Amino acid sequence: MEFKGKTVADAIEAGLQHFGIEEKDAEIRVINEEEKGFFGKLKKEAAVDVERKLTGGRRAVAFLEGLFEKMDINAKAELVKEEENVEINVIAESSPSVIGHRGEVLDAFQTLAGAVANIGNKSYKRVVVDCEGYREKREDTLVYLANKLADKAVRLGRDVALEPMNPYERRVIHSTLASHEKVTTISEGKEPNRHVVIVPNEKKPYAKRDFDRRGARPYGGGRDRNERGGRDPRRNDRRSSGFSSAPREPKRKPTTFGTYLGNSNSMKNEE
């Protein structure tokens, strides 16, 4: 916004008072300096352009709204908090278009907003982009999932691997089970397939009678060959499929008399 004054300093002061900010919070550009005529008389006033300096959070908000416009998404970003961390909330006409599958689109917006907010910063400031309370709902779901799968790991006595998650969601799982007395958690794999594994403190040996070498339960409800007294009738007995292991009797060729008789009958009918 342009401001004028007898001097450049006067023009700048007018701009700062208009926005109610200090000079360190403003972006100032001198349009032209004052001009004086004869005897020091003011010939032309000074003019400056003064704008409120955009903080990292405000830059991120402006960037997101520009991105929504290019993507043809009817949404608005608002700066909720800008202290140690930056929090931005998105209000959208269609929240799924902003959130995406399991928050993948929202995470992408958050990554870009974080990069824009930290341009020129000496220390990194974390940026969180939310859409209509999705982050809190997702966190509640992850906490429930972590406790449920921890109970499963203890009950079965073996590791339970979760689906791949982003770093934030993995931290939720780790922090939820950090104080659990019967399990520990580790992260395995590489991005984007890095995932959390819940490890029980007391592991149970695998039951050989319940699983074959491929990890699948054998036929017969888990009973082994000795319990069935030999082979599995459903797999090895061909009679159950309509086949027999007994030798087949050779087919008897029809007698010449029978063939001749049949032909003679047909000839009589034609006559």
Q: What is the pLDDT of residues 165-190, one digit of tens each?
A: 988 899 999 999 999 999 999 999 99
**What is each CA distance from 95 to 82, 91, 103, 134, 236, in whole angstroms?**
23, 8, 11, 9, 57
- Band of residue 205 on the pLDDT scale cut at 50, 70, 90: confident
DSSP secondary structure letters along the chain? -EEEESSHHHHHHHHHHHHT--GGGEEEEEEE--EE-GGG-EEE-EEEEEEEPPPHHHHHHHHHHHHHHHTT--EEEEEEEESSSEEEEEEESSHHHHH-GGGHHHHHHHHHHHHHHTTT-SS---EEEEETTHHHHHHHHHHHHHHHHHHHHHHHTS-EEPPP--HHHHHHHHHHTTT-SSEEEEEES-TTS-EEEEEESS--PPPTTT--TTSPPPTTTT--HHHHTSS-HHHH-GGGGT---SPPPPPPPPPHHHHHHHHHHHHHHH-
Mean pLDDT computed over 127-134: 94
Round to whole Å and give the CA distance between 83 and 59. Answer: 15
Mean pLDDT computed over 234-251: 47
Question: Which of 6-15, 67-76, 204-213 has the largest mean confidence?
Answer: 67-76
pLDDT at position 249 is 53
Task: Look at residue 151 and tell me whether its pLDDT is greater than 80.
Answer: yes
pLDDT at position 196 is 97
Round to whole Å and give the CA distance between 76 and 69. Answer: 10
Round to whole Å and give the CA distance between 33 and 166. Answer: 54
Task: Please tell me the pTM assigned to this model.
Answer: 0.59
Average pLDDT score over the chain: 79
Task: Look at residue 70 and tell me whether its pLDDT is greater than 60.
Answer: yes
What domains can be seen in the chain, in order of their start residue?
A: 2-52 (no CATH), 56-132 (3.30.300.20), 136-200 (3.30.1370.50)
Task: Look at residue 246 and tell me whether its pLDDT is greater than 80.
Answer: no
pLDDT at position 16 is 86
Mean pLDDT computed over 19-35: 83
The strand pair at 127-131 and 86-92 is best described as parallel
**Cβ neighbours of 173 (radius 10 Å):** 23
